[in-house]
A = this chain, B = another copy of it.
Amino acid sequence: MIETLNKAFCTLPGVGSKTAQRFVYHLLERNRDGGFELAKALVDAMEHVQHCNSCRTLSEKTLCNICANDVRDDTQLCVVETPADIHAIEQSGVYRGKYFVLSGYLSPIDGIGASELGLDELEQKLVERHIKEIILATNATVEGEVTAHYISNMAKQFEVQITRIAHGIPIGGELEYADINTIAHALSGRKNYT
């Protein structure tokens, strides 16, 4: 039973046997109520959380809070890989448009193509809606770049501005500690200093 719980925790990303053991002992020795609560929260979420019909993010409702919010700018669409990316961008507080969640990146080897990422739906949005700008906010990884490139190509047939979020040295980050790819990117993407 302890072993089964340990193994179940190990299926979580980044959780090895040692960490799982710490979780198991903590719950059993100090917080059994917490264990029951976690179990209930898991069942509730697994059963009831679905995807937003419009942006595909995880949502308990047919339309997520952002899609249902009429104050948000309908002419900007920010394309991200995961719901966590929306969360991160929302916390920055600088974006007032809407989102589209791919739930991954193009990876033909894993059978993840345009339809798995909902690119038909995305194209449909460009056809139907008055989107003026599509912001490609996929990750700065090889896969994220390939995916951004693919979407950019698809979007070109529409009258829409296609932008990519900027990459470079993190704010507060020291050049000395940045990796070479980031430095190369930051240099080639340099702007006039006014």
Contacts and interface: CB of A to CB of B under 8 A. Distances in A.
A37 to B, nearest CB: 5
A95 interface: no
Given A12-B26, A25-B82, A45 B35 contact: yes
Interface in A21-59: 21-29, 31-32, 34-46, 48-49, 58
Contacts of A32: 46
Please tell me how many copies of the chain the complex holds: 2
B45 A84 contact: no
Interface of A: 1-2, 4-5, 7-9, 11-14, 19, 21-29, 31-32, 34-46, 48-49, 58, 60, 82-84, 87, 103
